[in-house]
Amino acid sequence: MTVRLSDKVALIIGSARGIGRGIAERFKEEGALIVLADSEAETGAATAAALGAPFICVDVSQKADVDAAVALALSRYGRLDIIVQNAGIYPWQLLENTTPEDWDRVMSVNLKGCFLAARAALDPMRQQGGGKILFTSSITGPHVTSPGHGHYSATKAGINGLIRAAALEFSGYGITVNGVEPGNILTEAIQLHRSPDFIRSMEEAIPLGRLGSVRDVANAFVFLASTEADYITGTTIIVDGGQLLPEGNDFRLAPDRP
């Protein structure tokens, strides 16, 4: 068993369930000292208890909450080596039905939350001589989209721009900034809110023939958080099973084709 994150202190925001919990589990497997933060107090506390980690309830769109999460990590372990901002919301709304208040809420959680996480981590990482800032982006926004995801798409495209800007500005402090762009991942939310037929239709659009697992995404985060990625900054890793590759729907070779 590898321990690529041995004794590294990692704060994971948006870690109560789904991809965030998967990241927390993988980081712990790799030896990290993890601190969990989420807006879901009960679920987040249960996840933290299961992983033996401290937990704080936060609204990532609020500076005081994000600062408090960083302060918890510092008070518990004395340093902060890795911060992951995974928290995000994706209400389904056509643009014509989206109010300014709806738009602002998605922007505040998904995009402003990343800025606040980066800003809160900057000072302690600068003082200790380096660190890793990681964001959950998406293929939705930077590359593709679908009806009802206008505000979500805008935030994820914005996150990719923030990654590049922060990577450049923080490079002199030994801080790297990167992200992961998941495709369609089989999370609890997908299973709860999508029909089996819908899930099968998504699988048919993916060259590898299945939706991604939470662990598939978490593995990419482990790599970016490890010393193996010390010379990587300002970029993202796409984890989508090849979903972005085909030019059309008829992409599978016939079984008898040489």
Residues designated catalytic: 152
Q: From CA 88, how far away is CA 113, in angstroms rounded?
A: 8
User: How many Å separate Cα 18 from the centre of its chain?
Assistant: 10
Q: From CA 185, how far away is CA 19, in angstroms rounded?
A: 9
Cα–Cα distances (Å) from 135 to 23, 99, 221, 257, in that order, read: 12, 26, 9, 41
Query: From edge to edge, which strands make up the β-sheet containing 131-136?
Result: 55-57, 33-38, 9-13, 82-85, 131-136, 175-182, 236-239
> 111, 83, 106: which is closest to 23 by C-alpha?
83
φ, ψ of residue 223 to 5 degrees: the values are -60, -50
